[in-house]
Chains A and B, each alone.
Chain A
């Protein structure tokens, strides 16, 4: 059951990701991206990362994806939101490069003798993450908040009306 579910989720992720980068319609791409993000959230569940899975769904699916769809709608009509692919030679070259990269990385991955730690069945990660964020990673946490603030201001500045 677990293995089957895992394989299902893995296939979902790969297929939808392929669709994201090849779909001709931008809206289709966005929908496919939603599938990929949900799939990754599922994979987090298999990895006992319950908090991250939730965050993935809330922020990625609920936030970033919506943002992207807004971007699409602000710049194009949904019906004609056709992604113009780049020229054929370019695509071919990119495909070759990516293919070789894929082969190289895979072989590297399979040949590497990975260090294996003990597998622990954790019951929940929220408490640990919360404690870590407010103790050991407090500075990083604050820096991240400042980053968000800056991004907010920067985005507001960049997208303002010309004379507004």
Chain B
């Protein structure tokens, strides 16, 4: 077996082994046993990193091992890996975040009733996520896709005693199901057209004979692509299925960092990147539109949220929209770049928020206050001195996500924004301008709400001085992951060996193909997009600075120095009817409630009424009633006549015969012999007389 396959197999199954260990033996081993899981996750990190180094040092990964699984008639399925550069990069991202979250959780979850089980769930989640990354076919990816859905359900609902957590896990699971059904239909359509699930075969088909194969079926392929993309819409929390992600913040904060910032939600983007070569231009436009809407909506909603994790959740929705939009516009390299950088700084931000919440929680518990929400930013303030490490690292994360130069977010966001500008330049319709507008607008808002979060949490006057005094920095196992992720949020990490902080050229751009090495439809647009990229680069950078600066400046004005009163402005906006829109998350839950749940409940209620009152009570029961009536008549006939007279008559006759005949039973064998012999002789005589 190839060593690369072995590495991939170990990376895939080690977390599963950790899951099995923790679920079945966790209680017996005790809380110290979670270090085994931590160690396992770091082993996968080392393996994945070694693969990445090989790639970076100049050996591209092009390894596609597969084994036959089963075949039914002409239909056969294989299991296998698609080990290419993209997969390796994402493997490292997943393994890195996963292992840091493992480490972080050791302290964060300490004392939890289901401590070991939690680590088991982390294990199965990592297993399924690695499965998605490694999958060589849509079918295999779908299996792990569902596994990810399951494990995220388990992790979100980890504290299922809390009703909101239980509901959130159900909501996440069901919302994902909606997208997954679309994905399944899309897979079947693709199968119908192409007869294969394997990515390599699909690429080959669109590449070599694409024109012939899909001649006249472009519409069908567009639909298939959009349907498969629905899976990504669900998993990556895209409009209109983004509603589950903010609710999923009910799960433990490290879980949010792992699955709702870095990995699970990235699966949708990853799927879209994988699909990119076979998506038709129309499908790509759909993808881009979805992403743009999500980016803007998410950013707008994040402004007014007061829960520290919800701000980050909507920020994630917005950033995912960015990535999806980028794929849709052909900037698939930029999208994947942003996926990687975002995983680092958003993971960092979530873990920082976890650290803050952890500290707040302990402080409030110390005071004996169980009413105050430790996640509400209005209860914080002035924590910078009490939580120095958390403050510095979170500040770095905020700078990165806002797109400030020197930090990774700047590069990837810049690449995406350049992509939108190039797209707009290539398409001369009026609506093409909307994409860069959405991109830059969302970027400005992102900078604003991120610094709003920083200032509300760490600066200003504390809401409760007593609580502030009791806040203590988190232990080392929690702060070390923060520092590592903060270090990885610097731009230079992604541009080595390049050192120009304003340019993304480096190992990443070298190993992830853009333009060349592309197949199928992607090639159509990629070439001139590349051309456009260079033209708009300078403009993008200038604009980027401007929007990020504007956002940060506004935040400083409103929340750091309070030159303008945020409440007064909010009141003004409220009167204009805009504030509520954001505060109530654009009323998505309410709208779904009104147009889906309530009509559905009404419909089910009516259906139940029909079923119960009319069908069951009236129709079905009438059978019963009539049957009872017929049975009574028939029973009377049966009992009084047939039973009493005929059947019992037989009995009486037999009884009489028996009573008479018993007298013959003397119990003496000799009598019986005599009679038997006499009978035999009579038979003999009768027989001989003929």
A interface list, Cβ under 8 A from B: 86, 90, 93-94, 97-98, 100-101, 104
9 additional A-B pairs beyond A90-B671, A90-B674, A97-B678, beta carbons within 8 Å, are A86-B670, A93-B674, A93-B678, A94-B674, A97-B674, A97-B681, A101-B681, A104-B681, A104-B684
Is B608 an interface residue, CB under 8 A from the partner?
A: no
Interface residues of B in 662-690 (CB under 8 A from A): 670-671, 674, 677-678, 681, 684-685
Chain A nearest CB: distance from B668 CB in Å? 8
List the A side residues contacting B678 at CB < 8 Å: 93, 97
Chain A nearest CB: distance from B130 CB in Å? 73
Interchain CB contact under 8 A, B671 and A101: no
CA distance A86 to B670 in the complex (A): 10
**Could you list 11 A-B pairs, sorted by A, with CB under 8 Å?**
A86-B670, A90-B670, A90-B671, A93-B674, A93-B678, A94-B674, A97-B678, A101-B681, A104-B681, A104-B684, A104-B685
Interface residues of B in 482-540 (CB under 8 A from A): none
Interchain CB contact under 8 A, B674 and A100: no
List the B side residues contacting A97 at CB < 8 Å: 674, 677-678, 681
List the A side residues contacting B677 at CB < 8 Å: 97-98, 101
List the B side residues contacting A86 at CB < 8 Å: 670
Kindly list the 3 A-B residue pairs having the minimum CB-CB distance in the complex, ordered from nearest. A97-B678, A97-B677, A94-B674
CA distance A86 to B671 in the complex (A): 10
List the A side residues contacting B674 at CB < 8 Å: 90, 93-94, 97
List the A side residues contacting B671 at CB < 8 Å: 90
CA distance A127 to B685 in the complex (A): 45
List the B side residues contacting A100 at CB < 8 Å: 681
CA distance A90 to B681 in the complex (A): 17
CA distance A93 to B670 in the complex (A): 11
Chain B nearest CB: distance from A93 CB in Å? 6
CA distance A31 to B678 in the complex (A): 31
CA distance A95 to B561 in the complex (A): 139
Chain B nearest CB: distance from A47 CB in Å? 29
CA distance A94 to B676 in the complex (A): 11
CA distance A98 to B681 in the complex (A): 10
CA distance A94 to B677 in the complex (A): 9
List the A side residues contacting B684 at CB < 8 Å: 104
List the B side residues contacting A90 at CB < 8 Å: 670-671, 674
Report which residue of A86, A93, A97, A104 has the largest number of chain B beta carbons within 10 angstroms of its beta carbon: A97
Chain B nearest CB: distance from A60 CB in Å? 24
List the B side residues contacting A98 at CB < 8 Å: 677
B94-127 Cβ-contact flags toward A at 8 Å (1 or 0): 0000000000000000000000000000000000
Chain B nearest CB: distance from A89 CB in Å? 11
Chain B nearest CB: distance from A106 CB in Å? 13
Chain B nearest CB: distance from A63 CB in Å? 26
List the A side residues contacting B685 at CB < 8 Å: 104
Cβ-closest chain B residue relative to A93: B674
Report which residue of B674, B681, B685 has the largest number of chain A beta carbons within 10 angstroms of its beta carbon: B674
CA distance A82 to B671 in the complex (A): 21
List the A side residues contacting B670 at CB < 8 Å: 86, 90, 94
CA distance A93 to B676 in the complex (A): 12
Chain A nearest CB: distance from B278 CB in Å? 82
Chain A nearest CB: distance from B688 CB in Å? 8
Cβ-closest chain B residue relative to A107: B688
CA distance A97 to B671 in the complex (A): 12
List the B side residues contacting A101 at CB < 8 Å: 677, 681
List the B side residues contacting A93 at CB < 8 Å: 674, 678
List the B side residues contacting A94 at CB < 8 Å: 670, 674
Chain A nearest CB: distance from B685 CB in Å? 8
CA distance A100 to B684 in the complex (A): 11
B633-675 Cβ-contact flags toward A at 8 Å (1 or 0): 0000000000000000000000000000000000000110010
CA distance A100 to B678 in the complex (A): 9
List the B side residues contacting A104 at CB < 8 Å: 681, 684-685
Cβ-closest chain A residue relative to B684: A104
CA distance A97 to B678 in the complex (A): 6
Chain A nearest CB: distance from B449 CB in Å? 99
Chain B nearest CB: distance from A23 CB in Å? 18
CA distance A86 to B674 in the complex (A): 13
Chain B nearest CB: distance from A160 CB in Å? 25
Chain A nearest CB: distance from B671 CB in Å? 7
Chain B nearest CB: distance from A87 CB in Å? 10
Cβ-closest chain B residue relative to A101: B681
CA distance A101 to B683 in the complex (A): 12
Chain A nearest CB: distance from B443 CB in Å? 103
CA distance A93 to B685 in the complex (A): 18
Chain B nearest CB: distance from A107 CB in Å? 9
Cβ-closest chain A residue relative to B676: A97
CA distance A93 to B684 in the complex (A): 18
Chain B nearest CB: distance from A142 CB in Å? 33
Chain A nearest CB: distance from B664 CB in Å? 14
CA distance A29 to B685 in the complex (A): 33
Chain A nearest CB: distance from B105 CB in Å? 77
Cβ-closest chain B residue relative to A86: B670
Cβ-closest chain A residue relative to B679: A97
Cβ-closest chain A residue relative to B671: A90
Chain B nearest CB: distance from A126 CB in Å? 38
Chain B nearest CB: distance from A141 CB in Å? 32
Chain B nearest CB: distance from A10 CB in Å? 25
CA distance A100 to B671 in the complex (A): 17
